[in-house]
Structure 1
């Protein structure tokens, strides 16, 4: 510590710059060809090896310069976003800026529009700006709380990713290669992107540094800054535009590379604890840019050193940065200080329902579910009549119709069972966390189950149903254990639990992408099937685990219904009334993990059902869990069943995965919840 303090700010710059130079030298020695450090050294000292020169100019130098440009852009953008939000977790990823820019590029590709680099950068800028505006509006500029900022960014990211995935499914030929690029790729065929985006990045960085003194004053608070003559509104707008411009430039060069904009400012702020002068924005911005370069190059070096030179082509280095960034996010969440008693985000307030009213609602939901299941049997790439289903049940249909219905009924049942399981899991998680914005996807359980299932399918392609369910369960329990244990800090903080969950979700999603791209880089369909949720090709045996999970957990949840009511109030009331708090909490979360993992084994990764169904049920029958649980289960089954039927019908014979439909339906509802509660 003392030697570094003695170096001063200039010494810190020199140290980080030296690290970047060393990493750049190592980076140039890696690649798919046999050109190594000795060949490059001979070239530097006057050698005339045309093969080495060709490899250097055509491949390695463009990749290195792309890493430098992206690192500078994302490091500076993360610092700017954290400064205007006054939130250490703000970044181009957590504010969905990168995903918004990526969606804009995918939309252009889907429409068959081939744009040059600069117009493509402009399109990315507009997409990123729209995303930043949405997230900052929902989170009150990021100043209403870290949890709200991260949840708003996660919801927007999921919505943009779902739209991008949908476009890649519908326009597979036009968007070939965009799945891997969507995780960030430094592979460059020439220097065009770097030479055109580089000056733009440098100009934006210099402009931000000119605004550095005003940003320093803004850090004292809006009122103080206004008194000292800073136009807070204009400064925030200008800085947001600069941050989005830097993020869009990075996406244009290399795609959405995850969490560099979060990690780089964290490193610089840690240095700032030793060197106070680093906190000045004119120092922090370029230093964060250099730290971003170091992270970017180090991730690429580690990737190719561990998995070989070809991995740099097949596997996006953004997967590595996402994994590193997820760990940093969880570390920051671990340090997050709870804001006090757990807040209750808004719920729909309703009057007390009579028993008759409750029974009417249950009967209506059940009738709608039966109708949805019947529609699911009739609709799809082949439209049938009700009489066809009746004849099929009686065994009187021909081979063609029998084949269609035999293939269709497992899909309908899978959607119903998985929807009910996810809804019950979401209801119990919301009670335990005392936060109606919590659900299995937000806590990382769904992503963990998906990683386990994809890992088994990759290692053992012919794995049976039991093995798949066990692998999904193992992944879900691993994610749950990680989030729960790291969230425990003298008690279980709801805010900390949610932030840990978002980090775990990013980590396990990155692991899933890594497994898929490493094992079969061109099999986009496999990735999209599991990451988007689909009932395609389901067989009756795959439904047994989720059915058993529902049969076992629903009675337990009903027995614990009054404990759930007390848990949803506060931390002290259940203790005073003798509820074994930790035992009930573990039982509830353990059951939710089992339900989620078996649902993932049945239909893949489906998000937001555990959020939407409990909220809709709460609006209909109130918050008592004796009524909430059955209605939520029926509504969850109804939602996924309708989503599956719509996905199989609207663009038949092509299909939209059910998980995409539920994400597109659930995200606006989630956004609406955040919007309603932004003033609180």
Structure 2
């Protein structure tokens, strides 16, 4: 899964003059200073540039001086400090991993810090700021160690992003579960996770600044050793560089910078990815910036400019009373998502498509036996889901309810529980079928609606409708979800189709679109109902809570349509999943067939999201397990994958509402906890 950057036809001349480097540095300093001046004049209070100047000269009124000194100046200073720390952390991680996509975001550093702080919050212990930074550091170190270990240092850019994204989804699922289970103890943690540089005084900045300075000095001390790592491990050892110690030291220092930033302002996304990339572009023209000692401070300045620029842009475009509620991290995540998509398109993918899995040919008897077992399992899971919950029932109660002879209590329980069970079953079937279709069309074993941003686009469309038209019906919700999924799919598949559906580019673009969708959803939630994080988390966690039979009807129709098409077109699915040439040789219109299957996959994903929220990894796990059980022919894979998906989501929903009853967890959280290890296992297996 190697990915290399495309080389331009002609390279710009490289400047070696230190005067040019000094000029660039001075320009960046002036840019940060200008952004700082603009940032400090923006806010909800009517305190403009003249009042700010009076506050600095001691001539302002007490109220104006308090706004400037206690709010705006700390916010601006925090923006500079956070941006600088994240920029330097990203530069260090990219240097030691020799990976242009390494950053605190792609290494799940922020997700590790988020979970660590969430675990502490659940205990009810109130930690001082420095102690919280230590907890965040431990979480970030653990997460980065797992990602770097699974991805393999220098083994390819995409593997690291995949491992980091999968681990991030799993860790965030656990953290969001804690937020739902302990809303009082974790109050405010969801808003904090969006990332905001707003401060109440200088206390936080003063406490975190020494950590940032320590991280910078430490990285400068090992800068020459880090430069040697760029030559390769063997060459670095030949120069007397302790490779492992240098790498561990740099990662620890980068994690320290990230933890300090997270403690001060929450996760500010993608600054650590964008800032080093911009400096690399400058290094092509100025050789001085190829050295870590010269580029590291410059990357810090660039990170500061990105954070302050995002804050200034937000406050310029959004009214002041709304801008104050929008976290800066949402804006940087949007910018970073676009940046990641652009990088994915420009990267040269050397692995056009995955080789088919080496699976044994299964006999018809095996297929029938597996299908029969899965049918029995699905029936058992369905019965358990109907009978178990906060109120336990008997089969006789269900029979009486079906005949209209049950009591009021039993009727109420089953009237609310049956739609939930149906929604879980149908959503699982839809996502499994969608994953099967998308993996066949793209010939990518890692393609899945959630990873490719299709589910994120559907969730964005549904949330947009809910926030603007609260009384919209189930068909309207499905339509909005399909519109969002369609837009995201056009972006993902359109960009990835350039030069063929290369698996690495497809996944990278999908991750970028999914990140952008998540940021926009957070923005909608903050702007429309910033204090009701529980409602947002319930939706995004893939919960079937509150579903009614009318909500399930669109999903049932689409699943039935999808099954009919998949069964009737099973031979075309087999051909599409082989290669580019075989379908054409057999007279198949490949472009038309591929488009039809993709549209059907998007429709299935969208209706599943509309009915049950965002549920990840089902479209990945079910098709893989089905192929392992019955082989590659889609005449067998489709029914087995659908049965597996339905059973998986129904089981996840059952566990979510019974294990810790009366409290409940979304099915999406449970599937994320199950799917993350499986996704990481696939990554490890692909290295062999």
Is the Cα contact below 8 Å between 1:303 and 1:311 reproduced in 2?
no
Which residue of 2 is the match for residue 626 of structure 1? Answer: 635
Q: CA–CA distance in 2 between the matches of 1:526 and 1:578? A: 51
Per-residue deviation, 1:464: 1.3
Q: CA–CA distance in 2 between the matches of 1:639 and 1:299? A: 41
Which residue of 2 is the match for residue 174 of structure 1? Answer: 185
| TM-aligned CA distance change 1:454 to 1:83, over 3 Å | same
Q: CA–CA distance in 2 between the matches of 1:545 and 1:73? A: 48
Length, aligned pairs only? 676
Matches within 5 A, 1:74-85: 74-85=86-97
Q: CA–CA distance in 2 between the matches of 1:341 and 1:443? A: 17
Per-residue deviation, 1:303: 1.5
Mark the runs of 5 or more structure 2 residues left unpaired by the alignment: 1-11
Per-residue deviation, 1:367: 1.4
Over residues 79-115 of structure 1, what are the superposed CA-to-partner deviations in whole Å (9 max), with x where a residue is unaligned? 1111112111111101111111111111111111111
SS in 2 for 1:337: strand
| TM-aligned CA distance change 1:432 to 1:145, over 3 Å | farther
Is the Cα contact below 8 Å between 2:314 and 2:331 reproduced in 1?
yes
Q: CA–CA distance in 1 between the matches of 2:251 and 2:459? A: 35
Q: CA–CA distance in 1 between the matches of 2:152 and 2:662? A: 44
Q: CA–CA distance in 1 between the matches of 2:433 and 2:97? A: 35
Per-residue deviation, 1:312: 4.2
Per-residue deviation, 1:564: 2.6
Which residue of 2 is the match for residue 546 of structure 1? Answer: 555
Per-residue deviation, 1:244: 0.9
Which residue of 2 is the match for residue 121 of structure 1? Answer: 133
Q: CA–CA distance in 1 between the matches of 2:16 and 2:451? A: 41
| TM-aligned CA distance change 1:378 to 1:665, over 3 Å | same
Q: CA–CA distance in 2 between the matches of 1:575 and 1:130? A: 49
Q: Does 1:595 align with 2:604?
A: yes
Match of 2:346 among 332, 335, 341: 335
Q: CA–CA distance in 1 between the matches of 2:146 and 2:574? A: 34
Which residue of 2 is the match for residue 263 of structure 1? Answer: 274
Matches within 5 A, 1:245-256: 245-256=256-267
Matches within 5 A, 1:91-110: 91-110=103-122
Match of 1:313 among 311, 324, 336: 324
Per-residue deviation, 1:48: 4.4
Is the Cα contact below 8 Å between 2:90 and 2:104 reproduced in 1?
yes
Per-residue deviation, 1:350: 4.8
Q: Which moved more, 1:379-388 or 1:561-570?
A: 561-570
Per-residue deviation, 1:144: 2.0
Q: CA–CA distance in 2 between the matches of 1:72 and 1:26? A: 18
Match of 2:241 among 209, 230, 240: 230
Q: What TM-score results when the alignment is normalised by the length of structure 1? A: 0.97
Q: Does 1:33 align with 2:54?
A: no
Which residue of 1 is the match for residue 34 of structure 2? Answer: 22
Q: CA–CA distance in 2 between the matches of 1:224 and 1:270? A: 25
Over residues 481-531 of structure 1, what are the superposed CA-to-partner deviations in whole Å (9 max), with x where a residue is unaligned? 011112232333221111100000000110111001111100112211221
Which residue of 2 is the match for residue 286 of structure 1? Answer: 297
Matches within 5 A, 1:529-544: 529-544=538-553
Is the Cα contact below 8 Å between 1:4 and 1:12 reproduced in 2?
no
Per-residue deviation, 1:576: 3.5
Q: Does 1:55 align with 2:64?
A: no
Which residue of 2 is the match for residue 395 of structure 1? Answer: 404
Which residue of 2 is the match for residue 239 of structure 1? Answer: 250
Match of 2:370 among 361, 374, 377: 361
SS in 1 for 2:343: helix
Q: CA–CA distance in 2 between the matches of 1:565 and 1:147? A: 27
Q: CA–CA distance in 2 between the matches of 1:668 and 1:189? A: 40
Q: CA–CA distance in 1 between the matches of 2:63 and 2:404? A: 71
Q: CA–CA distance in 1 between the matches of 2:369 and 2:13? A: 72
Over residues 377-414 of structure 1, what are the superposed CA-to-partner deviations in whole Å (9 max), with x where a residue is unaligned? 11111111111111111211111111110111000000
Over residues 424-474 of structure 1, what are the superposed CA-to-partner deviations in whole Å (9 max), with x where a residue is unaligned? 001111112222111000100000000000000000011111111110000
Matches within 5 A, 1:579-594: 579-594=588-603
Q: CA–CA distance in 2 between the matches of 1:46 and 1:364? A: 80
Q: CA–CA distance in 2 between the matches of 1:225 and 1:311? A: 52
Q: CA–CA distance in 1 between the matches of 2:337 and 2:343? A: 10
Is the Cα contact below 8 Å between 1:180 and 1:315 reproduced in 2?
no
Q: Which moved more, 1:575-584 or 1:111-120?
A: 575-584
Per-residue deviation, 1:46: 4.7
Is the Cα contact below 8 Å between 1:441 and 1:607 reproduced in 2?
yes
Is the Cα contact below 8 Å between 2:141 and 2:255 reproduced in 1?
yes
Which residue of 2 is the match for residue 563 of structure 1? Answer: 572
Q: CA–CA distance in 2 between the matches of 1:234 and 1:226? A: 11
Which residue of 1 is the match for residue 148 of structure 2? Answer: 136
Match of 2:421 among 412, 417, 422: 412
Per-residue deviation, 1:38: 1.0
Which residue of 1 is the match for residue 287 of structure 2? Answer: 276
Q: Which moved more, 1:543-552 or 1:421-430?
A: 543-552
Q: Which moved more, 1:35-44 or 1:65-74?
A: 35-44
Is the Cα contact below 8 Å between 1:165 and 1:528 reproduced in 2?
yes
Is the Cα contact below 8 Å between 2:14 and 2:287 reproduced in 1?
no
Over residues 351-379 of structure 1, what are the superposed CA-to-partner deviations in whole Å (9 max), with x where a residue is unaligned? 33221221121111111111111111111
| TM-aligned CA distance change 1:275 to 1:369, over 3 Å | same
Matches within 5 A, 1:467-616: 467-616=476-625
Is the Cα contact below 8 Å between 1:476 and 1:593 reproduced in 2?
yes
Q: CA–CA distance in 2 between the matches of 1:470 and 1:4? A: 55
Q: CA–CA distance in 1 between the matches of 2:484 and 2:296? A: 39
Which residue of 2 is the match for residue 669 of structure 1? Answer: 678
Per-residue deviation, 1:678: 2.8
Is the Cα contact below 8 Å between 2:352 and 2:503 reproduced in 1?
no
Which residue of 2 is the match for residue 188 of structure 1? Answer: 199
Q: CA–CA distance in 1 between the matches of 2:493 and 2:361? A: 34
Q: What TM-score results when the alignment is normalised by the length of structure 2? A: 0.96
Q: Detail structure 1 runs of 4+ shifted over 6 Å in the superposition.
A: 1-6
Which residue of 2 is the match for residue 160 of structure 1? Answer: 171
Q: CA–CA distance in 2 between the matches of 1:476 and 1:421? A: 14
Q: CA–CA distance in 2 between the matches of 1:401 and 1:502? A: 44
SS in 2 for 1:314: coil
Is the Cα contact below 8 Å between 1:181 and 1:255 reproduced in 2?
yes
Per-residue deviation, 1:147: 2.0
Q: CA–CA distance in 1 between the matches of 2:21 and 2:259? A: 30
Is the Cα contact below 8 Å between 2:95 and 2:226 reproduced in 1?
yes
Match of 1:203 among 214, 232, 251: 214
Per-residue deviation, 1:5: 8.9
